[in-house]
Structures are given as C-alpha cells and as structure tokens.
Amino acid sequence: MLARTILLALAIGGAVAAARADYFNFDPTATGHVTYPSWVPTRPVATPREHAELAFPIQPVSNDYDLVLTVVFQEELGAFLSVYWQDGDGNRQLLCPNLFENISLVNQRTLLISRAIMGGPGNVILQSSQRVLNVIRVRLEWARPGVVRLVDSVPNGALIATGGKFYAAEEVDGTPLTPVADDWQGTTLMTSVTDQAERVEQGVVFPVVIDAKVRRARVEVLVNGLPLDGIFRLWVNRQLAGTLSVDVPDLNDPGYSPDGTFIGWRKAVLLLAPSLLVVGENTFQFEGPANQSLAIRDFLLQLTYTAN
C-alpha cells in the first residue's frame, strides 16, 4: 500500500472536505475554503446549463497510476448522469453514458480511468440530463498497478479499493452492468436470478426452477437502501428462510454521510436449509424494514446438487 499522509480534514457547513496525497473528497454543496491536492491544480468548475456539468481538472501523478472516480448521487427515473474525460485540447471521450441504475434511490458507482485514456492533463466531467447535477459527493483517488494471483473460478479483477472491496472489470469500465454468467464447479452451480437492479420493497417474488434435489444452498445479493442497523430477511416458498448477514462497509468508504448513514450497495448472504427447496419451481422474496425503499441486484443462488 502507498504511504498515506493526511494533508487536510476540515468540517465545512456540516460536511467534510478532505484532501490527501493520494485521494480527494469533494462535496459540491459545501461552502468555504477547501485545500486541493497538487494533482487537482484548480478548483472544480460547475457549469449551469440545460445539461449541468461539474469538471475536475486533473494533473496525473508522476507514477504510472490509474484514476479511480467514485460518485455518490441521487437517482431520478428517466434521467442520466454521464462521465467524460476531456483532454488538454478539449476533446471529450465518453467513459460512462449513465451512472444511474434506474432504482430512484441514492446510490454510488465507481469507474477506473486508465492512464492510457488520460494520456496527460485534462478534466473529469460529470454531465447531467437536467439543470441539476444530483451529485452528493465525489471521491478521486489513485490506484497503483499490482500483481494478483486468481484461481480459475475467480473472475479477473480490475480494482481492489479501500477496505478490500473487489471490483470486476465490467463493474468499473463504464458499461451497463450485466448479470453474472452461470458457473459449474463439479456438482455446484452458481446462477444469477436477476439481470438488473430492481426495487423490492413491495414484495417482488423471484421464481427459480431447480432441476434436481440439492444438499447445500447459498444466497448472495447486493442490497441498496437498507439502514446499517436494518434487518433483511428472505422468504422461500412462503416460509421464512432466515435473516441475511449484511456487510458493514469499511469506514473510509465514500458512501458514508456525515450523519453516519450509508449510501450504496452492500453484500448480503444466507445459507439456506435444503429442505426449503423443492424440485421444480421455487419462489424467493426479500423483506426489509417497514416503509423502507430497497433495491437489489446481482442476486446469486449457489446450489450443490445431490450426487447421482
């Protein structure tokens, strides 16, 4: 890991603005003086127009590092929030057409901007489909190249962030998120139940067909909107299967707000009793706190079948 030296941590207007040698947090609603790291040579520029923009000038560090951009935002149905890289000549390259996942909740997404894309000094630009950006917080940080050994069953990774959060390449390249492909290892199947993010607080039922008897079963899902102290349950075939264990993100995650709430996706897992499952169609239904808006994505079901 890099040696990390704190340059500034300053509370401004109830929010925290922080600049360090290797990362920079920015709250566009904060007022007052903010100290910027040397690689953000001038203050970010917000441009009010039909499609509002926020531009971050970037002077790449001397090392051959890539830039990690994390944006915390409020989604609006039918709107978009795009990301561009603009080089020193003013030419723009679209990095992500839309950070939104159409869940109409507060959310966060991370992009990895390679040194090859940047080339030299330029600007990271956030562009809204509206006159309002809906940006809550932005983090910019540098990621060094590393060497990681992966077994065959583990997908290639593109980024390991603070707290050990692992991102696959397709999660940080700006393309629309796609479901995990089915994967067999011996008699164990990992299959994706959902193909996109979905709101679930109204009791959405997910049908799953199981072809044969299973002896072990595990559920993994990402959940957004669940309070840090909230309970997240799973019902299988109208029976309570149990309470999922939900990840508590690293305290340096940019999803944390000054009031201690968290914005973003969190992993939840549960080991299922095989007796809950039947050969044929099964139903899965998630339950969160009452009157709490929730969304899920990457709902994975891992099944170990009984050997013939």
The tokens describing 82, both together, are 């795009």
Once rounded to an integer, what is the mean pLDDT over residues 293-302? 97
How much is the pTM? 0.87
Summarised one tens digit per residue, pLDDT across range 126-158 is: 999 998 889 999 999 998 877 676 666 666 667
Three-class SS state of 51: coil
Mean pLDDT of the chain, nearest integer: 87
Statement: residue 7 has pLDDT above 60: no
**Helices then strands (H, E): number in the chain?**
1, 24
DSSP letter for 171, please: G
Summarised one tens digit per residue, pLDDT across range 208-231 is: 999 999 999 999 999 999 999 999
Q: How far apart are CA 104 and CA 113, in angstroms?
A: 26
Token look-up 């901007």 returns 113
Determine which helix (DSSP H) or strand (DSSP E) holds 284, and give its type and residue range: strand 280-287
- Whether 232 and 296 have beta carbons less than 8 Å apart is answered as no
Q: Domains, the chain, ranges and CATH? A: 6-171 (2.60.120), 183-305 (2.60.120.1200)
Once rounded to an integer, what is the mean pLDDT over residues 288-307? 95
Give me the pLDDT at residue 62, please.
83
Statement: residue 16 has pLDDT above 70: no
Task: Kindly report the backbone phi and psi dihedral angles of residue 11, in degrees, each rounded to the nearest multiple of 5, phi listed first.
Answer: -80, 125
* Measured CA angle at 266 (ends 285, 104), to 5 deg: 70
Three-class SS state of 276: helix
